[in-house]
Amino acid sequence: MKGECRLKSHRNEYHSLILTFILLIVSILLFFGLNGRTFPNMSLWVPISLYSLVGVGYVMSLLIALRLKNTVIKTFSLLATLMLLLPLVIWVYLLLLANGISEP
């Protein structure tokens, strides 16, 4: 009985890391999948909205990581999430800037 509780608590501690890894894979797939060659007439709002959804996922992962009790996993998860969130925010800003320049 006690072993099962410990196993569940250990399993719950890795949710933030798993979510961060999944969002990293989704970001890479979006980066290489949504380009002008594959979808030539796609509006720029589509990648902006998809990257924004991934950014919301990173913020959720950050909030999950803040609630962890294990300091090693908490520190690693916070650093990994912040290191992936910052370039994503810059990329979305540049996409919004390009969208503002290209639209009349």
Number of separate domains in the chain: 1
Two structure tokens written together for 96: 């919004």
The percentage of the chain sitting over the pLDDT mark of 70, rounded to a whole number, equals 88
Cα 16 to Cα 104: distance, rounded to the nearest angstrom: 41
Q: For residue 11, what are the domain limits?
A: 2-102
37 pLDDT higher than 90: no
SS3 of the chain: helix, strand, coil, percent, to 5? 80, 0, 20
5 pLDDT higher than 70: no
pTM above 0.85, yes or no: no
* Per-residue confidence (pLDDT) for residue 4, from 0 to 100: 56
103 pLDDT higher than 80: no
* Per-residue confidence (pLDDT) for residue 40, from 0 to 100: 86
